[in-house]
Amino acid sequence: MAFVAPLVRQRILKEGSHEAIIGTSAVYVGGSFQTWKHLGARLTGSDIYTDGEIPILHIIMEFPTRTCWQQSIERIPVPAGRMEEARKVVAVLTEQMKN
Q: What is the pLDDT of residues 2-52, one digit of tens each?
A: 778 778 777 776 777 778 899 999 998 877 888 988 888 999 999 999 998
User: Whole-prediction pTM value?
Assistant: 0.79
pLDDT in tens, 54-65: 999 999 999 999
- 28: domain range? 19-98
Q: Is residue 12 part of a domain?
A: no
Q: Examine residue 50 and state whether it is found in any structural domain, yes or no.
A: yes
Number of domains in the chain: 1
- 2 domain-assigned: no
The answer to whether residue 8 is domain-embedded is: no
Residue 89 included in any domain = yes
Sheet holding 42-49, edge to edge: 42-49, 56-64, 69-77
Q: Is the CB of residue 71 less than 8 Å from the CB of residue 59?
A: no
Residue 47, in any domain of the structure: yes
9 found inside a domain: no
Residue 6 lies in a domain: no
